[in-house]
Amino acid sequence: MSAGQHILVVDDEEAIRSLLREILEDEGFSVTTAGNVAEAKEARRVRRPDLVLLDIWMPDGDGITLLKEWAQDLGMDVPVIMISGHGTVETAVEATRIGAFDFLEKPLSHGKLLVTIERALEMAALRRENIGLRRQAASTELLGSSRAITQLKEQIQRIAHHNTTVFLTGESGTGKEVFARYLHTHSPRARNVFFSVNIGGLARDAVEQEIFGSESKDRVHFGALEQANGGTLLLKDITDLSLEMQARLLNALETQSLMRVDGLDPVRTDVRIVAATRHDLKAAVDAGQFRDDLYYHLNVVPLQIPALRQHAEDVPELLAYYLDLFVAQEGLPRRQFSNAAQQRLRTYAWPGNVRELKNLVQRLLILGSGPVIEAPEVEQALGIRPVVAVESRPGFDLPMREAREQFEKAYLEYQLQHELGNVSKVAERIGLERTHLHRKLRALGIDPKYIKHATGRGRDDA
pLDDT, tens digit, 9 for 90 and up, residues 9-55: 999 999 999 999 999 999 889 999 999 999 998 888 888 898 999 99
Q: Is residue 387, in this structure, part of any structural domain at all?
A: no
Pair 252, 173 in one domain: yes
- Quick: pLDDT tens for 344-360: 999 899 999 999 999 99
Domain end point (choices 350, 382, 414)? 382
Pair 376, 328 in one domain: yes
What H or E segment, with its residue span, contains residue 25? Answer: helix 14-26
First-to-last alpha carbon distance for the chain, in angstroms, is: 31
Question: Residue 80: beta bridge partners?
Answer: 52
Q: Is residue 170, in this structure, part of any structural domain at all?
A: yes
pLDDT at 376 over 80: yes
Q: Is residue 96, in this structure, part of any structural domain at all?
A: yes
Q: Is residue 142, in this structure, part of any structural domain at all?
A: no
- Quick: pLDDT tens for 142-166: 889 999 999 999 999 999 999 999 9
Confidence class for position 329, pLDDT limits 50, 70, 90: confident
Predicted confidence at residue 455, as pLDDT, reads 52
Q: What is the CATH number of the domain that holds 97?
A: 3.40.50.2300
Percentage of the chain lying above the pLDDT 90 cut: 49
* Environment class of 107 (CB within 10 Å of its CB; exposed 0-12, middle 13-18, buried 19+): exposed
- Over range 314-337, report the average pLDDT: 93
- Over range 330-354, report the average pLDDT: 92
**DSSP-based three-state secondary structure for 396:** coil
Pair 301, 319 in one domain: no
Pair 57, 79 in one domain: yes
The distance of Cα 427 from the centroid of its chain, to the nearest Å, equals: 36
Q: What is the DSSP string of 192-219?
A: S-EEEEEGGGS-GGGHHHHHH-EEETTE
pLDDT at 410 over 70: yes
Predicted confidence at residue 412, as pLDDT, reads 87
Pair 172, 291 in one domain: yes
Confidence class for position 91, pLDDT limits 50, 70, 90: confident
Percentage of the chain lying above the pLDDT 70 cut: 89
Confidence class for position 396, pLDDT limits 50, 70, 90: low
What residues make up the domain containing 38?
A: 6-134
Domain end point (choices 305, 330, 355)? 305
**DSSP-based three-state secondary structure for 84:** strand
pLDDT at 459 over 50: no
- Over range 54-81, report the average pLDDT: 84
Predicted confidence at residue 221, as pLDDT, reads 86
Pair 437, 367 in one domain: no
Pair 237, 177 in one domain: yes
Pair 22, 84 in one domain: yes
Predicted confidence at residue 135, as pLDDT, reads 44
Q: Is residue 408, in this structure, part of any structural domain at all?
A: yes
Q: What is the DSSP letter of 123?
A: H
Contact 86, 62 (CB under 8 A): no
Predicted confidence at residue 128, as pLDDT, reads 64
Q: What is the CATH number of the domain that holds 176?
A: 3.40.50.300
pLDDT at 132 over 80: no
pLDDT at 224 over 50: yes
Q: Is residue 139, in this structure, part of any structural domain at all?
A: no
Look up the pTM and report it: 0.67
Predicted confidence at residue 324, as pLDDT, reads 92
pLDDT at 290 over 90: yes
Pair 124, 18 in one domain: yes
Q: Is residue 143, in this structure, part of any structural domain at all?
A: no
Confidence class for position 93, pLDDT limits 50, 70, 90: confident
- b or e along 362-391 (b: 16 or more beta carbons within 10 Å of the residue's beta carbon)? bebbeebeeeebebebbbebbebeebeeee
Confidence class for position 127, pLDDT limits 50, 70, 90: confident
Contact 224, 234 (CB under 8 A): no
Q: What is the CATH number of the domain that holds 405?
A: 1.10.10
pLDDT at 248 over 80: yes
In the predicted model, what is the mean pLDDT of the chain?
A: 86
Q: What is the DSSP string of 414-457?
A: HHHHHTTT-HHHHHHHHT--HHHHHHHHHHHT--HHHHHHHH--
Predicted confidence at residue 462, as pLDDT, reads 46
Predicted confidence at residue 136, as pLDDT, reads 46
Q: Is residue 357, in this structure, part of any structural domain at all?
A: yes
Pair 227, 257 in one domain: yes
Pair 53, 190 in one domain: no
Q: What is the CATH number of the domain that holds 325?
A: 1.10.8.60
| Number of domains the chain is built from | 4
- Over range 172-199, report the average pLDDT: 92
- Over range 74-100, report the average pLDDT: 80
What H or E segment, with its residue span, contains residue 31? Answer: strand 30-34
Pair 121, 159 in one domain: no
- Over range 420-449, report the average pLDDT: 84
Domain end point (choices 305, 331, 354)? 305
Query: CA-CA distance, 442 to 305, in Å (whole number)?
Result: 35
Nearest to 241 by CA among 200, 183, 189, 280: 200
